[in-house]
C-alpha cells in the first residue's frame, strides 16, 4: 500500500473542517447523520470537535463489492427525526457522487430545514453528478483508498491513515 494522507494530516484537516462548520452553523443545533460504515471513524473525530448542540444518527448505504461499484442499497431504519432540523450528512468518500445525491434526496423527503454534506475524501475526476459536498477533507487521485474507516472487503478500516491499494494488495481479504 502507498500512504496518501498521514494520520497527522487527517487530524489537521478535521480541525479545519470543524472550525468551518462551527463558523457556518453559528452555534445552531445540528443533527449529524453518518453514512455507515466507512464514515464512522471520521464521524467520531469530527463530532468531538463540534462544540455546539448536536444530535448524532446513522444510516447505512452500500454500493461497493470489493473494488467494484454495484447497485446502491440504503437503510434509513436508524435515522432520527430530522423534520425542521439542520442536518450535516457525513460520508467517507465522494467519487461518482451518486450515493450522496441519492441519500440527500431520501433525507430531503423528511423535510429538514437544511442539509449540508461533509466528506473525508473526494476522488478527483470521478464525479458524474452536479453536486459537490459542502465540506471536503482531501481531494485524492482516482485510486482505491483504504484506512481511517474506508475498507476493501471489510479489511483496513483500522488504519490511522489513508492508503492506496496496490494491485498486489487486492485479492482474498
Per residue of the chain (173 residues), what is the pLDDT tens digit? 999 999 999 999 999 999 999 999 988 999 999 999 899 999 999 999 999 999 999 998 876 555 555 677 777 778 899 999 999 999 999 999 998 999 999 999 999 999 999 999 999 998 999 999 999 999 999 999 999 999 998 899 999 999 999 888 776 54
Q: Which of 91, 95, 142, 154 is catalytic?
A: 95
**Has this prediction a pTM greater than 0.75?**
yes
pLDDT at residue 13, as a whole number: 98
Determine the Cα–Cα distance for residues 165 and 62; give it in Å rounded to an integer: 20
CA-nearest of 51, 52, 54, 126 to 95 is: 126
Predicted local distance difference test score (pLDDT) of residue 61: 84
pLDDT at 62: 74
Cα torsion 22, 26, 29, 31 to 10°: value is -40
Neighbours of 48 (CB within 10 A): 10
pLDDT of residue 69: 58
Instruction: Please name each of the domains of the chain with its CATH number.
Output: 2-169 (3.40.50.2020)
d(C-alpha 38, C-alpha 1), whole Å: 18
Name the burial class of residue 141, with classes exposed (0-12), middle (13-18) and buried (19+) by CB atoms within 10 angstroms of its CB: exposed
> 95 an active-site residue?
yes
Amino acid at each position: 500500500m502507498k500512504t496518501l494522507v498521514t494520520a497527522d494530516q487527517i487530524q489537521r484537516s478535521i480541525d479545519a473542517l470543524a472550525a468551518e462548520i462551527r463558523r457556518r452553523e453559528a452555534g445552531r443545533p445540528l443533527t449529524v447523520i453518518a453514512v455507515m460504515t466507512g464514515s464512522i471513524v471520521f464521524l467520531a473525530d469530527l463530532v468531538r470537535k463540534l462544540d455546539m448542540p448536536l444530535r448524532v444518527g446513522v444510516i447505512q448505504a452500500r454500493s461497493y463489492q470489493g473494488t467494484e461499484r454495484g447497485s446502491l442499497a440504503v437503510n434509513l431504519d436508524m435515522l432520527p427525526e430530522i423534520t425542521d432540523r439542520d442536518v450535516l450528512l457525513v460520508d467517507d468518500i465522494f467519487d461518482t457522487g451518486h450515493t450522496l445525491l441519492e441519500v440527500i434526496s431520501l433525507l430531503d423527503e423528511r423535510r429538514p430545514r437544511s442539509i449540508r454534506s461533509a466528506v473525508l475524501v473526494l476522488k478527483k475526476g470521478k464525479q458524474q453528478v452536479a453536486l459537490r459536498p459542502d465540506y471536503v477533507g482531501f481531494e485524492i487521485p482516482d485510486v482505491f483508498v483504504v484506512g481511517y474507516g474506508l475498507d476493501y472487503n471489510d479489511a483496513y478500516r483500522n488504519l490511522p491513515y489513508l492508503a492506496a491499494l496496490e494491485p498486489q494488495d487486492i485479492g482474498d481479504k
